[in-house]
Amino acid sequence: MEQYPIPQFIESESKIAFFISFRQFFYLVGAGILSFFLYYLLPKPVFYIVSVILFIISAILAFGTINGTPILNVILGSIGFSMGGKNYTWKKKESPYPFKPISRTKIKKIDQGPVLQAQTSQLKRTKTLIDLKTK
């Protein structure tokens, strides 16, 4: 009997309607309730501007993701990282074997003496004759 791999780490939110989950629904309803109270507290032109900004922010929080992570989690994580304490420690790693310094011999520079002139030898003359293909 064949065994099929079982998917693991499945994270899915239950949907209320077509594509809206509980979390997204509550973001949008919260923005609606807040704008309802602002309707009675603010003058009309200011209310329209604030409510539009409020609904844009709630839509971004409800539907926006960065690398599959909701934006609210990213924002809270970055705030927690910037506000939290950071402890930087460095531990020297011990090597598996002790290092011993290698003493290298110094290379002596050889002074070049006078350059010797090319000697005319029988071998060189024979090579020249072969190269020129003459007898």
Two tokens, residue 60: 């971004």
Tell me the backbone φ, ψ of residue 72, rounded to 5 degrees.
Answer: -60, -40
Domain boundaries, the chain: 19-83
pTM of the model: 0.53
Ordered DSSP codes for the chain? ----PPP-S---PPEEETTEEHHHHHHHHHHHHHHHHHHHHS-HHHHHHHHHHHHHHHHHHHH-EETTEEHHHHHHHHHHHHHS-------PPPPSS---PPPPPPPPPPPP-PPPPPP--HHHHHHHHHHHT--
Q: For residue range 22-73, list pLDDT tens digits in order.
A: 889 999 999 999 999 999 999 999 999 999 999 999 999 999 999 888 899 9
Q: Which span out of 9-18, 45-54, 94-103, 105-114 was modeled with the highest average pLDDT? A: 45-54
Task: Identify the band that residue 130 occupies on the pLDDT scale cut at 50, 70 and 90.
Answer: confident
CB neighbour list of residue 14: distance below 8 Å, 6 or more residues apart? 21, 22
Two tokens, residue 83: 């506000």
Pairing state between β 69-70 and 15-17: unpaired
The neighbouring-strand residues paired with 15 are 21
